């Protein structure tokens, strides 16, 4: 029977999900979620023909909220200080 090959690579465990996001990213994700909710609330005030302020503003709020969440997910975490 053949012996299993030993690898010399040191496996580094992935950080827990709560530590993987930057604090600013978490804040941006929460703000983006709030913006999406606000966009859908504003969308309920839109008229059927889409000619009032709510119909013009709601798409920007919703898409801006999704963009903020996307940016918040990819913000780099702050550099760790070696102790």
* Cβ count within 10 A of residue 28: 20
Model confidence pLDDT, tens digit, residues 21-73: 888 999 999 999 999 999 999 999 999 999 999 999 999 999 999 999 999 99
3-class DSSP state for residue 24?
A: helix
Model confidence pLDDT, tens digit, residues 59-74: 999 999 999 999 999 9
- Whether residue 6 contacts residue 31, with contact meaning beta carbons closer than 8 Å, is answered with no
Residue linked to tokens 């023909």: 49
* Cβ count within 10 A of residue 27: 14
When pLDDT is cut at 50, 70 and 90, the band that residue 16 belongs to is low
């Amino acid at each position: 029977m053949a012996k299993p090959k030993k690898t010399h690579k040191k496996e580094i465990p992935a950080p827990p999900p709560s530590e993987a996001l930057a604090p600013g990213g978490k804040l941006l994700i929460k703000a983006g979620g709030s913006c999406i909710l606000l966009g859908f609330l504003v969308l309920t005030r839109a008229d059927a023909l889409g000619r009032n302020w709510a119909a013009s503003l709601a798409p920007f709020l919703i898409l801006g909220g999704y963009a903020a969440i996307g940016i918040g997910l990819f913000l780099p975490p702050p550099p760790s200080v070696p102790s």
